[in-house]
Chains A and B, each alone.
Chain A
């Protein structure tokens, strides 16, 4: 089973994103600043206590001279996207259910969570909630369906946590096969490139092959893929996934001296200068309005 090494996210901060309907974000940056969500681990344990000067960020190949570390207060926002399609039924529904329960178990009272399910339709079964009981009740009442609208469910789940205070992630439990979404792969990935949310994925234990689409998604967003273990939900590993995300960092910088690319896409490289640890990061961001 793959361990979650690190989750890093790089996100653009816009004051303009705060709307009347949304809670103001914890970190408030200037409109010309880029926000970078970072998680660092060493041998599968979160590395804490790092400072801004421990990080190196290259924006389209240009090293950023001055980084700031923002303090994150409050909890995290987690949307659980649970596949109820035929693939999950075939490849290990029981383990997926237990893995979903493990995600619920590790949430703290200050965290906010949602449960989204999908087959040929997507639905919000619970949320926003801070109660594990409510999530578990919702989980107990799900029923299988045809199809597996994975792209649409990802879009819905990311939409829900976007703009929430603190850091936000989506944990998708699925066999990774798309069946029946409106969105196709190309457009979905294009949209995800403009998202600030980390996507992590848990696949069924008995699934021998295939998971390519979700591999692309987690790579793009700085997430990680776990595989459910036969007869064992791998509770600790699932718990680590959320914990490592929770203990991450938020860096910000002004992209001074970074040339504006024609297509608006900024490739990002995030690394540590003199410290040991693995860093995962979003692959980049789009210039606002592009």
Chain B
């Protein structure tokens, strides 16, 4: 990262992180700046992606490091600064988002809005439920929802307090491709309208392409490369297309299965 935007204009990063952490034998050392409104943290399972998100969110305290969010330091191990997780204003939807099982959908979305007045709270909850098209489910319990509805409510709950950044840790991995695509496209539009940047963990090339994002590739706890998706993931995309028989086949390729290729841009 050179600290300059695509047009050569210096950009203040939404988030700057310089982290070192050790979990057993796993050693994490990464340093990156987020300047794109949508950044994909890409890498294989066990690369350290979720650990990075948990450190940024404040759920894990790293061995050393510094994090700046929207120009404000939220962590500096050297000086002992560590803003508590609940005060960092970070929306975080985990791989298995856990709605509060004993609360209705309305109460779940309302949970993070305790600083608002009752009227504002009601208004915000209604707005969020409508936005994620779960308004009619407001009095249901989480166990009565389908997978897609559950994820929508988890997003509504994470975004209701208007976070400074949204972090998503493969929250749609259990959903079918169509549903995932529909939620992702709506979410990107909504976040762009509110200027909320997102950091999205994925190991799916198609997903990264779909969001036209900046990509940070992490492997074995180290940052491999960072840049626009078309530059960073092009070799992986070609390899994947080759494996699917779309390009570079020495023999006449069989007609590819539409359900496989339609996910790739």
Q: Indicate, yes or no, whether A interacts with B.
A: no
